[in-house]
Amino acid sequence: MEKRIKIYWAGDLFDHKDLAGNLLLAEKVEFLSGGRYLPMLPQNGEVNKKRSLDIRDGDYDLLLSCDMYLGNFDGPDLDSGTVAEFLFAKMLDIPAVLLRTDFRCPAESSTSPDPWNLMCSGYPRTRSLILHSMQLWHEATEMAVEKGKIVDLYYANIAEKILKELDKCLVMEKVFSFEELAGIYRNTLRAAGGKLPEIWTEEKILALLAEKAEKGIY
């Protein structure tokens, strides 16, 4: 059986819309891909406790174990944690898809290729998917009346578009050679600090990279 490609599902985790929306869309991506893509939601690992570096280390640990990154880049200002995770993923040459369904345009968008801060644009092995959430919602309501069916069509439409971008992202040119990766991971972990250098031993890094190579990520 083909090994599943794990996606780190980054984004806001602060209200019921974030949590439920993440789950519904992630489930559609997994289902419509026939299980090829396996979204990994940080919200399933974080616990309701006082915020600490343990949460940061836990999220980075999950991101390190994943093959791809999907960032929910919604909101007038991007969530700082989502951006930090995106940049961490880019330092490791992890393929990324940046999703925006928010049709509001930040002031800087007129001078940026994407509708967000230009410092998050221009990275290799990265695809941007810009959608108009209200337009997609009206398309779904024109096709169905029952509320559950509307929601199902709505998320299926977005998921299908995400899958196309994920597939395109996987064939983009790699930044590093496979031989360089162990050193890249080792140095990035040292720079990130926290408990990550202890968690990610040399043996664990090499096993992860071997698995990525087997999946065709590298």
**pLDDT value of position 13:** 87
Q: Which helix (H) or strand (E) holds 168?
A: helix 147-170
Confidence category of residue 2, pLDDT binned at 50, 70, 90: confident
CA distances from 177 to 27, 143, 209 (A): 33, 47, 12
Distance CA 66, CA 60 (A): 10
The class (CATH top level) of 5-215 is alpha beta
Instruction: Give per-residue pLDDT as tens, 75-98.
Output: 988 999 999 999 999 999 999 999
Instruction: Give per-residue pLDDT as tens, 103-148.
Output: 987 656 566 789 998 899 999 999 999 999 999 999 999 999 999 9
